[in-house]
Structure 1
Amino acid sequence: MITEQSSSANRGLPLAGAVALISGAGGPMGAAIADRLAADGAALGLIDISGRRVVATAEDIQTRHPDTQIQTARANATDEQETNAAIAEIADALGPVSILVNVVGGIRGGELVTPILGMSEERFDSTFALNLKPLFWMVQATAPGMIARKKGAIVNISSVTFAGDGDQPEYAAAKAAVSSLTRSLAIELAPSVRVNCIVPGLIQTSVINNAAPQMVADYTNRSLLKRLGRPEDIAAAVSFLVGPDSDFITGVSLPVSGGIPANL
């Protein structure tokens, strides 16, 4: 079992002794975050709805970081029982979770763009469930232990659409809720647990495959850096927010958007 150590003891491995739980670890963003936290010295608990994808992520990370302890678990993060069982499996193997990164989110299937006037109730409800229920279940499962040990860090993933988006109104509203809930959790869990949020622009993940070329062009043009984000850009921000260099930062929504404004 891994015991948590002071991250300042080894600046080369700032997360040595930490156990990081990452949801959605089978996707490009979750995999990039997992790889970065492994490089920082954390043990990894990886959850994804696809057992095949999460095992592939673990195997890939293990080739680059052979000393990293990794435990994978397949779970639908919108299901409380599956989530709790996966977290218990990870904690039994690695020890208590001290870092939680909630990556699961997005829009389930179908078109990325659906105006509210043509939207089904099923799509509206499923988008909120996908973006909020995993965060809800995972915080409830892990935060009490962090509070008991008086140390923990949580990072949630929002989106620049949270400022309002006529093409993806239900997704924008769900991500606004993620940002608001982040602030509420930072207040509730202080001072033991720091809770922050990353606000990405359009990131080069599998979502690009379903995005209209005009949407991709619009996000590229809106970016001051004139490019889309990379999963590694998000991973670097997560590394900062869970590490010792952000020890006096909590309750913030950090834009990682190439300069696209992210204000509600």
Structure 2
Amino acid sequence: MRLKNRVAMITGAGGPMGRAIALRFAEEGANLVLTDISERRLEETKQILTVLKKDVIAVRSNVLNYDEVKSVVANAYTHMDKIDILINVVGGIRSQPMNQSILEIDGDRWDDTMALNMKGSVNCIQLVAPQMIKGQYGKIVNISSIGFAGEAGLSDYGAAKAGVASLTKTAAIELSPYVNVNCIAPGIIQTSITTRMEQSELESYRNQTLTGRLGEPIDIANTALFLSNEESRNITGQIIAVSGGISPHL
């Protein structure tokens, strides 16, 4: 049990990646503080976890709202007394069409993508990290994307995910030596986003990988588990690509 007696807060816990991380952490003994913007999806995750008989707090929130995150964190401290691990999953791109030239993206789309991918992580770190420092222990994992290296049609998303990578490195410096802060950069993961992509686009990406496969939520969950336990105690400020061998860089 690599996370026995640890308390992990996971945002976006109703989505495929967040749910996979919650389940994997529960299997390793963690008690969980879960949040998601969707009450229905959050409750579905909680019901699955009750089978494992783990302590679970599930509080619906929009992590882009500082006060709502504050309520989630206060609830966690009241019922579990601490948060050892923070997994910032919330992110993505909401706009349609998904691919749009930098010459056509309007200000509203740009601002929405930046906020969706960065603001929630900043809110959560600001509210959780002080207690981690006080307790001299903490693990924070952010979710970026290999798209941070830049990709045609996704200038807003790539820039936002580059921001997440940079935020990770800054936080690792500022929160040292007691808090490890790392970042996972997934390739294309088989979630709802793949249903919005052309089959030819998916096949083109698959052909770029060395493994010949798309990623699955469990791949992200296993990496988050490694970065959240003592096996990775000397790893901080790193960006781990989970992308079938595609190596992003600026």
Q: What's the TM-score bracket when you normalise by the shorter of the two chains?
A: over 0.9
Give the match for residue 6 of structure 1: none
Deviation track 1:86-108 (CA, whole Å, cap 9, x = no partner) reads 22112212221110000000012
Equivalent position SS for 1:21: strand
Instruction: Supply the distance in 2 between the matched residues of 1:73 and 1:196 (Cα, whole angstroms).
Output: 25
Give the match for residue 134 of structure 2: 148
Are 2:172 and 1:194 equivalent residues in the alignment? no
Deviation track 1:204-263 (CA, whole Å, cap 9, x = no partner) reads 011111112222112111111111100000000000001110011001000100001111
Give the match for residue 170 of structure 1: 156
Are 2:8 and 1:27 equivalent residues in the alignment? no
Instruction: Supply the distance in 1 between the matched residues of 2:118 and 2:239 (Cα, whole angstroms).
Output: 16
Give the match for residue 16 of structure 1: 4
Paired residue type of 2:45: T
The question of whether the paired residues in 2 share the 8 Å contact of 1:30 and 1:103 is answered with yes
The question of whether the paired residues in 2 share the 8 Å contact of 1:186 and 1:251 is answered with yes
Deviation track 1:96-143 (CA, whole Å, cap 9, x = no partner) reads 111000000001242221111111110000000000000010000000
Give the match for residue 115 of structure 2: 129
Instruction: Supply the distance in 1 between the matched residues of 2:142 and 2:205 (Cα, whole angstroms).
Output: 22
Instruction: Supply the distance in 2 between the matched residues of 1:34 and 1:200 (Cα, whole angstroms).
Output: 17
Instruction: Supply the distance in 2 between the matched residues of 1:114 and 1:42 (Cα, whole angstroms).
Output: 41
Q: Which of these residues, 47, 67, 76, is aligned with residue 59 of structure 1?
A: 47
Are 2:31 and 1:43 equivalent residues in the alignment? yes
Q: CA deviation at 1:27?
A: 0.2
Are 2:218 and 1:222 equivalent residues in the alignment? no
Paired residue type of 1:203: I
Matched length: 250
After TM superposition, the score normalised by the length of structure 1 is 0.93
Instruction: Supply the distance in 2 between the matched residues of 1:90 and 1:222 (Cα, whole angstroms).
Output: 42
The question of whether the paired residues in 2 share the 8 Å contact of 1:159 and 1:198 is answered with yes
Instruction: Supply the distance in 1 between the matched residues of 2:41 and 2:74 (Cα, whole angstroms).
Output: 20
Equivalent position SS for 2:24: helix
Deviation track 1:69-96 (CA, whole Å, cap 9, x = no partner) reads 0000100111111111122112212221
Q: Which runs of 5+ in 2 are unaligned?
A: none
Give the match for residue 101 of structure 1: 87
Give the match for residue 83 of structure 1: 69
Are 2:218 and 1:251 equivalent residues in the alignment? no
Give the match for residue 9 of structure 1: none
Q: Which runs of 5+ in 1 are unaligned?
A: 1-12
Cα RMSD, aligned residues only: 0.9
